[in-house]
Amino acid sequence: MMTIKEIRKRLDGGEMSCRELTTAYLDAVKRDNPALNAYILLTEEEALRVADAVDARRAKGEMLSPLEGVPFALKDCVTTKGIATTCASKMLADYIPFFDAFIWEKLREQNAVMIGKGNMDEFAMGSTGETSYFGPASNPHNLDYVPGGSSSGVAAAVAGGLAVFGIGSDTGGSVRIPAAFCGLVGLKPTYGAVSRRGVIAYGSSLDQIGPIAACAEDAALVFDAINAKDPGDMTSVGSEPVTPKLTGSVAGMKIGMAKEFFEVMSPPVREAIERSVKLFEKMGAEIVSLDFPMLRYTLSTYYIIACAEAASNLGKFDGLRYGYRTDAAADLDDFICRTRTEGFGQEVRRRILLGTYVLSAGYYDAYYNKAQQLRRAIKGEFAKMFKECDLLLGPTVATTALKKGSGLTPVEMYQTDICTSSVNLAGLPAVSVPCGFDEKGLPIGLQLVGPHFKEDRVLSAALAFERETAGEYLRASGMGVKL
């Protein structure tokens, strides 16, 4: 696993050309991707084209941007003109978009090198990566385990040394959960910090795009490259660059811990979090104990709102305009019904049905409206907690990675999001940073949540933790590129 800084040193110091670097990554993908299934699509031609452009700029002595020439993985819900964008669904398996997503435009402006499109849970619905139409990705730390989802492929690629950073989307935890399971740093920015134009929507009031990276400084650099305001996304406001503001210190900070998070943790996670809390105290932070009684309602609230929005967002996939279409149908109704039944996987269909149910006239008040009221109450509790502290600390996930094919029921699977989804309901920024390993060597993630637009604060605390632990928890998986 290489950091952006290490790559910069090699490229800027003329130690290797960008073509050599890119070829090394492409070769590693060809060797290791069959085991990891991290990439759905390898974008070799595009990668080499950009690599050559970077080398030409280097030869002319032009100033290179921070991400210039750096190989990355892009989650396959991000639209790329002329390059297949599938959302890991049969519905979009042959879809070639005719426009670019804002974030892809931004990364291209920087000449970052896209290695390929990352595997994911179908339409980002899942926490393990196993709902992908293209099969599950594997955790590079142990191939029998899931990398976490829904940004499964991007996390597997970074931890597996097949990309330096990745771009994921996070509706209820999909950047932070795979970051935690793969021993990486994952940042879910404040709602509105990053434009979603061209990102295939799941839950529009919750979705955010964020980096998955090897360390906090890398996450900051990637965030700075994509967080501009975009008139093409009315919810986007952009935010200040965070890299110049990273202090790497928590001295004098008040860090809150909600007791309720401690009730859900498995023993190895609890041990790692408790050890980390002591380290934060040692670094000069004051720990305050807080109550978050609404935590018990967050999963029901999140799943009602996310499914309602998904049912609406996915209504456009009817086979009439683009995407999969059935071959045999008696009439128009039958055509749409068959197309959607055949084109969507089981979990996506379940959520569309659930979302349609909670939005239907007879149940709207009982479910959807009530969920909106609860969402307001959850936001209120966060606001109250932030009156007493600067940051909140807890686990990212209550357990470590699950074994592939664990056969959990949908509701058991939804519980993976217990610590992450409330953050999306409140639109807050949060980072997952590695803080330990369980007895099987699977990584554990610590979550730091900040007030709106305080990405600098959450990343500074993550950086402080990395420094204090001397990167002890950023252990490489041993797979991937060796330079």
Which are the catalytic amino acids? Answer: 75, 150, 174
E strand or H helix that includes residue 258: strand 254-258
Could you give the CA distance from residue 232 to residue 46 in angstroms, rounded to a whole number?
25
Helix (H, G, I), strand (E, B), or coil: what is residue 91? helix
CB of 352 to ligand GLN, least distance (A): 13
Say which residue the tokens 């002890």 belong to.
472
Question: What torsion do the CA atoms of 359, 360, 363, 364 make, to the nearest 10 degrees?
Answer: 40
Alpha helices in 231-316 (DSSP H): 259-262, 267-282, 295-313
Measured from the CB atom, is 169 or 460 closer to ligand GLN?
Answer: 169
Is the CB of residue 11 less than 8 Å from the CB of residue 64?
yes
Could you tell me which stretch among 15-23, 136-144, 165-173, 377-385 binds ligand GLN (CB under 6 A)? 165-173
Strands 71-75 and 113-118 come out as parallel
Q: Is 218 in the site for ligand GLN (CB under 6 A)?
A: no
E strand or H helix that includes residue 73: strand 71-75
Tokens representing residue 246 in the block: 């990273």
Could you tell me which stretch among 108-116, 167-175, 228-236, 464-472 binds ligand GLN (CB under 6 A)? 167-175
x/- track of binding to ligand GLN for residues 178-207 (CB under 6 A) = ------------------------x-----
Measured from the CB atom, is 180 or 277 closer to ligand GLN?
Answer: 180
Alpha helices in 432-482 (DSSP H): 455-468
Could you give the CA distance from residue 54 to residue 48 in angstroms, rounded to a whole number?
10
Could you tell me which stretch among 19-27, 95-103, 164-172, 291-299 binds ligand GLN (CB under 6 A)? 164-172
Measured from the CB atom, is 416 or 477 closer to ligand GLN?
Answer: 416
CB of 385 to ligand GLN, least distance (A): 22
Judged by CB under 6 A, the residue of 91, 92, 125, 348 near ligand GLN is 125
Please tell me the count of residues contacting ligand GLN according to CB under 6 A: 14
Strands 185-188 and 208-213 come out as antiparallel
| Positions 275 through 334 that interact with ligand GLN (CB under 6 A) | 306
Q: Is 150 in the site for ligand GLN (CB under 6 A)?
A: yes
Q: Is 210 in the site for ligand GLN (CB under 6 A)?
A: no
Judged by CB under 6 A, the residue of 171, 313, 339, 477 near ligand GLN is 171
Task: Report the amino acid identity of residue 313.
Answer: N
E strand or H helix that includes residue 446: strand 443-449
Q: Is 173 in the site for ligand GLN (CB under 6 A)?
A: yes
What residues line the site for ligand GLN (CB under 6 A)? 124-127, 150, 169-174, 202, 306, 417
